[in-house]
Amino acid sequence: MENVTIFDHPLIKHKISMLRDKNTGTMFFRILVEEISMLMGYEAMRDLPVETISVETPITEAEVPVIAGKKLAVVPILRAGLGMVNGILSLVPTAKIGHIGLYRDENTHEPHAYFAKLPDKIEDRLVIVPDPMLATGGSAIQAVDFLKSKGCKHIKFMCIIAAPEGLKALSEKHPDIEIYVGALDEKLNDNAYIVPGLGDAGDRIFGTK
Ligand code: PRP
Ligand code: URA
């Protein structure tokens, strides 16, 4: 899977291990999700194009690199993707934010759309789509389908934990997007939850049940 990056950084591994612990409470869980998203975002933006501009330093005039080209949009998949937004924004505070609301039916595990609002000129932007969990892949595939239907051409999907089934499905359905994964887990269980996973990401971020 050429379009997939699976992180292998001790800080990311350590923080994901703390997330998995069922005794990690809401406040610490939110902080960890934000920190992991920032670390993953730093790496995911490694290939942003730069251009050269002139600045005058206190010493001399210099040609220096700045981020060029496309503007950024961060488009989380609601709800749990919201928890990742601030970590990414801490790196690119001027990014515009969109939202795609999807929930998974408890029985069929199929995603259902309930909301969408995107920044203007979305087709000209690099779009980063965060969602902590990639399980069957249904939600991520539907979100990317939707973004492509709006003309988006450069999409990066970022998840904290993926199941092999979902990663394969997303990568095969959308080979032209880049996929960033914090940890690749073992499998899905009969309820399509990731094993060992961390449980229900939305419930753990928002303190619901
Ligand atoms: C979770 C998660 C993903 C989706 C992953 O959201 O945040 O969006 O499930 O599952 P999939 O890969 O099988 O589609 P959920 O539907 O539970 O909604 P929530 O974030 O509002 O809790
Ligand atoms: N959604 C979650 O929040 N967790 C899972 O393990 C699977 C889907």
Whether 184 shows a pLDDT value over 90: the answer reads: yes
Element (H, E) at 157: strand 154-162
Q: What digits encode the pLDDT tens for the residues 193-203?
A: 999 999 999 99
Which CATH class for the 4-206 domain? Answer: alpha beta
Mean pLDDT across the chain: 97
- Ligand 2 nearest-atom number relative to CA 202: 3
Task: Give the pairing type, strands 72-74 and 178-184.
Answer: unpaired
Q: What is the DSSP letter of 118?
A: -
**In the prediction, which pLDDT does 1 show?**
80
Q: Which residue has the tokens 């619901």?
A: 208
Over residues 6-10, the mean pLDDT reads 98
Question: Which residues, judged by CB distance below 6 Å to any ligand atom, belong to the binding site of ligand 1?
Answer: 77-80, 102-104, 109, 111, 131-140, 166, 192, 200-202
* Per-residue pLDDT band at 2 (split at 50, 70, 90): confident
185 is catalytic: no
* Residue 28, amino acid: F
Asked whether residue 69 carries a pLDDT value surpassing 90, the answer given is: no
Dig out the tokens for 199 from the structure.
């449980």
Tens of pLDDT along 84-94? 999 999 999 99
User: Which of the residue ranges 1-5, 79-83, 136-140, 155-159 would you say has the lowest mean pLDDT?
Assistant: 1-5
203 included as an active-site residue: yes
Q: Answer for the pair 153, 177: CB distance below 8 angstroms, yes or no.
A: no
79 closest CA partner among 16, 131, 139: 131
Residue 47 DSSP SS3: coil
pLDDT at 56 over 80: yes
Binned at pLDDT 50, 70 and 90, residue 78 comes out as: very high
Q: Select from 170, 195, 193 the least CA-distant residue to 185.
A: 195
